[in-house]
Amino acid sequence: DVKVTQSSRYLVKRTGEKVFLECVQDMDHENMFWYRQDPGLGLRLIYFSYDVKMKEKGDIPEGYSVSREKKERFSLILESASTNQTSMYLCASTPFFRPGGTEAFFGQGTRLTVV
């Protein structure tokens, strides 16, 4: 019963390449997030979206962009990959407030290595 799916588990890309990370959720959630996870730094928010075609910058948006053309899909784009973008990327989704909870569901993560 996987609810949030990321397109790749592992990815190796070359410096300067354009990289697309895809995330799909099947829970009809309004909010979707992209986080970057690095040792000792926790989960840092890159971008989030609360509606189709809407996006908000998080704490570390530099070097990234996002696209949300459909409610269930949120894409993270590295315009020109650099070695300092080597990391684990996690997608998550939450509903707008509903009585009983606004639990975040995470994808399985994409470990991106830029060489």
Partner 1 sequence: GENVEQHPSTLSVQEGDSAVIKCTYSDSASNYFPWYKQELGKRPQLIIDIRSNVGEKKDQRIAVTLNKTAKHFSLHITETQPEDSAVYFCAASRETGANNLFFGTGTRLTVIP
Phi, psi at residue 84, to the nearest 5°? -75, 0
| Beta carbon of residue 83, minimum distance to partner 1 (angstroms, whole number) | 23
The residues in 50-109 that bind partner 1, with binding defined as CB under 8 A, are: 50-51, 56, 58, 90, 92, 94, 96-97, 101-104, 106-109
Q: Does 114 bind partner 1 (CB under 8 A)?
A: no
- Within 13-52, the residues that bind partner 1 by CB under 8 A are 30-31, 33, 35, 40-43, 45, 48, 50-51
First to last CA, the chain: 34
Phi, psi of 85 (to 5 degrees): -100, 5
Q: Where are the alpha helices (DSSP H) in 18-115?
A: none
Contact 18, 11 (CB under 8 A): no
Which residues of this chain interact with partner 1, rule CB under 8 A? 4, 30-31, 33, 35, 40-43, 45, 48, 50-51, 56, 58, 90, 92, 94, 96-97, 101-104, 106-109
